[in-house]
Chains A and B, each alone.
Chain A
């Protein structure tokens, strides 16, 4: 198995299972046992860090280090340093100033975002968009791709978090905005989209303000 096999979703599974830090070891650049798997992994780790940051989780909890099998001392150095760093950060949530339950929910939303099609598609097309361009032959710079990813990630992460926040709870857009840490108008826009997708519905209208709840997926109307 190659570091290229490390699925971003699996990294989040590890955090959810109780890890406070995740260390990915890979071959040196140009010396990958599987040719270029380590470069693929590097992209995946970078993307995962971005998503962690988006959810307010310290991206320093995830590192990728490259070394060869002949560099035992280097591995010890990396592992010990990471151990110290993570020990200093403490359990997920503590250095971020959020409680354990909230951290868990955010990690679950991050996992869902990374496991779902949309972000995986963009991430998978990253190299192709840079080198060959899209369907119309437009090529993008790293900077443009980064911005594009950020924009898509912004929406995707918000949607995933809203879904989890509404699980078994009824919340107003205003309350969701506070919890998801984005402006209320953007929450409303997501809710409208999500309602079209059959993911949420208005549970009740009290005091002139609707409260929302999540839908069971079975309720999605057939296309």
Chain B
């Protein structure tokens, strides 16, 4: 085996790291660790100067393992892996240590302890680096076809954009008509836009694009495969079919909550915002005195979340009423006003100028709706108001579609606590799922305005088109492999619990064995931690690598405490109680 030549780079991150721990000490310390031949501090490792410094250090010192102790791998692991590659080193010989988020930022007032912790983490990384192995990314081909589930404005937009990029699309809609929730609305906000005309133009675009195949009255029955090669089983008007595709866009939307049992909802004089819009559109709105109540059925024990769009919708509709009948009176009773963005602020101001009254109420003293009058304890003045009302309008939240649960199981992607689809990362990967090749947009993810839905749909189409147009996809090789085929008994435990269906049991010359579909594996490692024969190896996170880290974690403390107690039976366990 070639001699270990580990290089350690300690990033100061300006003062972000060096301001709260002794980076020089950590750098000096790491030089004394086994296998380390080089260490240096960088002011900013990720800067151009830092990166070129690391690169030349690798070449000059013939480094064959590189450790950077800096920030989160989320942002800069790709940077430093690329640096290694540029210097002629396999990128998987790189090991990242997070001494910013994990050390300096959380131990700002404990300089010494923080320095000790940074030493510990670097020592653990060095132990692991010694056992790293070169890897090559896994490649798979991608079928140039996308399936879009949901034919509302998000799905329509995503399908249209994908097709414009030259990708074949199959658009699956559960209802017999395209358009979704928005086709039942009247005027969209905050900039007024005719809902039905908007939907109609989208539907027309989608219908005339011959790359798009539309399936209405269709439900998804099963989904298999992995990025580049998914199979979607659809039943459309009684007929089952299978669609092969390279990527899936989830645009299944949400549904408005029918506020049964909230503020005396009766569907006649106390109605939901959606029913109000419907009456406005049909010109069937009666009455001149309106009271709107926001957070009706939202932000309570059952649904703790803010649906984000109801406040804006209520204000927009109040303005519509004022436009129709300037003499009418409109009160909006609110707990907090969710009016983000310049345009929403604009309509809020316009509403106040138009004489719409805003009364805030507290969660503990909600308004009481009686026949023809709404009583509310105004938060600001502290006195009870009795507001006459011909119609009470409840601005209720959007709630997750009931079908989301089943679909999430088929897709093997998570839902959040409110049953909306959960993206890979709220801030850093808002449109992706953790599972590659599946994307989410629109209100399936979270209540959103039509414009936000359209933006997300464009985003999802753009994200999905990357592998679809490339025709091939590279997958991180940190996956499960059958490390020891002889050990595997083909018991199927791993296949049964794999959340991604990435393991199958196949018949081989030496009996049934587990077989991993590398492209589908996300590297969670649950199989390896469960395999009773310990036949599964997690590439890049092997048992040996993890153990090496754990074993040195307390080395310094042990030395300080004056030697550890010898451990009996350190050899790997074998034999006793063995099964057949």
Query: From B541, which residue of chain A is reached at the shortest CB distance?
Result: A1
Q: Which residues of chain A are within 8 angstroms of B538 by Cβ–Cβ distance?
A: 1, 5
Checking B106, B557, B573 against A112 with a beta-carbon cut-off of 8 angstroms, the contacting residue is B573
Check: B567 CB closer than 8 A to any chain A CB.
yes
A4 lies within 8 A of B526 (CB): yes
Q: Which residues of chain B are within 8 angstroms of A5 by Cβ–Cβ distance?
A: 524-526, 528-529, 538, 541
A10 lies within 8 A of B553 (CB): no
A114 to B551, alpha carbons, bound, how many Å? 18
**Of B46-54, B56-64, B90-98, B409-417, which stretch is located at the interface?**
B409-417
Bits for B521-535, please: 1 = Cβ < 8 Å to A, else 0.
011111011111110
Checking A8, A35, A105, A160 against B499 with a beta-carbon cut-off of 8 angstroms, the contacting residue is A35
A117 lies within 8 A of B533 (CB): yes
Q: Which of B417, B522, B546, B569 has the most CB of A within 10 A?
A: B569
Q: Which residues of chain A are within 8 angstroms of B524 by Cβ–Cβ distance?
A: 1-2, 4-5, 34, 37
A108 to B568, alpha carbons, bound, how many Å? 7
Q: Which residues of chain B are within 8 angstroms of A17 by Cβ–Cβ distance?
A: 550-554
Check: B543 CB closer than 8 A to any chain A CB.
yes
Query: From A164, which residue of chain B is reached at the shortest CB distance?
Result: B569
Given known A-B contacts A1-B524, A117-B578, A160-B573, A7 and B567 have beta carbons under 8 A apart: no
Q: Which of A40, A111, A127, A197 has the most CB of B within 10 A?
A: A40
Check: B240 CB closer than 8 A to any chain A CB.
no
Given known A-B contacts A112-B569, A118-B578, A163-B576, A32 and B414 have beta carbons under 8 A apart: yes
Check: B547 CB closer than 8 A to any chain A CB.
yes
A contact face: mostly helix, strand, loop, or mixed: helix
Bits for B505-522, please: 1 = Cβ < 8 Å to A, else 0.
000000000000000001
Q: Which residues of chain B are within 8 angstroms of A163 by Cβ–Cβ distance?
A: 569, 576
Q: Which residues of chain A are within 8 angstroms of B546 by Cβ–Cβ distance?
A: 10
Q: Which residues of chain A are within 8 angstroms of B382 by Cβ–Cβ distance?
A: none
B-contacting residues, A93-126, CB 8 Å: 100-101, 104-105, 108-109, 111-112, 115-118, 120-121, 123-125
Check: B324 CB closer than 8 A to any chain A CB.
no
Q: Which residues of chain B are within 8 angstroms of A160 by Cβ–Cβ distance?
A: 573, 576-577
B579 lies within 8 A of A118 (CB): yes
B525 lies within 8 A of A2 (CB): yes
| Chain A proximity of B59: nearest CB distance (Å) | 31
Q: Which residues of chain B are within 8 angstroms of A36 by Cβ–Cβ distance?
A: 499
Given known A-B contacts A5-B529, A34-B524, A16 and B567 have beta carbons under 8 A apart: yes
Given known A-B contacts A33-B434, A35-B412, A163-B569, A4 and B529 have beta carbons under 8 A apart: yes
B contact face: mostly helix, strand, loop, or mixed: loop
A194 lies within 8 A of B576 (CB): yes
B578 lies within 8 A of A18 (CB): no
Query: From A118, which residue of chain B is reached at the shortest CB distance?
Result: B577
A34 lies within 8 A of B434 (CB): yes
Checking A2, A70, A116, A155 against B573 with a beta-carbon cut-off of 8 angstroms, the contacting residue is A116
Interface residues on A, range: 35 or more
| Chain A proximity of B184: nearest CB distance (Å) | 30
B525 lies within 8 A of A1 (CB): yes
Checking B434, B541, B543, B568 against A167 with a beta-carbon cut-off of 8 angstroms, the contacting residue is B568
The total of interchain contacts (Cβ-Cβ below 8 angstroms) comes to 163
Checking A105, A124, A159 against B576 with a beta-carbon cut-off of 8 angstroms, the contacting residue is A159
Q: Which residues of chain A are within 8 angstroms of B531 by Cβ–Cβ distance?
A: 120, 124
A156 lies within 8 A of B577 (CB): yes
Q: Which residues of chain A are within 8 angstroms of B204 by Cβ–Cβ distance?
A: none
Q: Which residues of chain A are within 8 angstroms of B534 by Cβ–Cβ distance?
A: 115, 120
A-contacting residues, B387-430, CB 8 Å: 412-417, 422, 424-426
Check: B564 CB closer than 8 A to any chain A CB.
yes
B493 lies within 8 A of A124 (CB): yes
A52 to B569, alpha carbons, bound, how many Å? 17
Query: From A155, which residue of chain B is reached at the shortest CB distance?
Result: B577
| Chain B proximity of A131: nearest CB distance (Å) | 10
Check: A51 CB closer than 8 A to any chain B CB.
no
Q: Which residues of chain B are within 8 angstroms of A159 by Cβ–Cβ distance?
A: 576-577
Q: Which residues of chain A are within 8 angstroms of B496 by Cβ–Cβ distance?
A: 127-128
A220 lies within 8 A of B575 (CB): yes
| Chain B proximity of A69: nearest CB distance (Å) | 8
Contacts A30-B416, A31-B422, A34-B499 known; list 9 others, CB within 8 Å.
A7-B528, A10-B550, A14-B550, A40-B497, A104-B565, A116-B574, A121-B579, A123-B530, A155-B577
Interface residues of A (CB under 8 A from B): 1-2, 4-8, 10, 13-14, 16-19, 28, 30-37, 40, 44, 69-70, 76, 100-101, 104-105, 108-109, 111-112, 115-118, 120-121, 123-125, 127-128, 155-156, 159-160, 163-164, 167, 194, 197, 199, 217, 220
A sample of 10 cross-chain residue pairs with beta-carbon separation below 8 angstroms, ordered by A number, consists of A1-B523, A31-B417, A35-B500, A44-B529, A104-B567, A116-B573, A117-B533, A120-B534, A217-B574, A217-B575
**Nearest 6 Cβ contacts at the A-B interface:** A5-B525, A18-B554, A4-B526, A35-B499, A120-B532, A2-B524
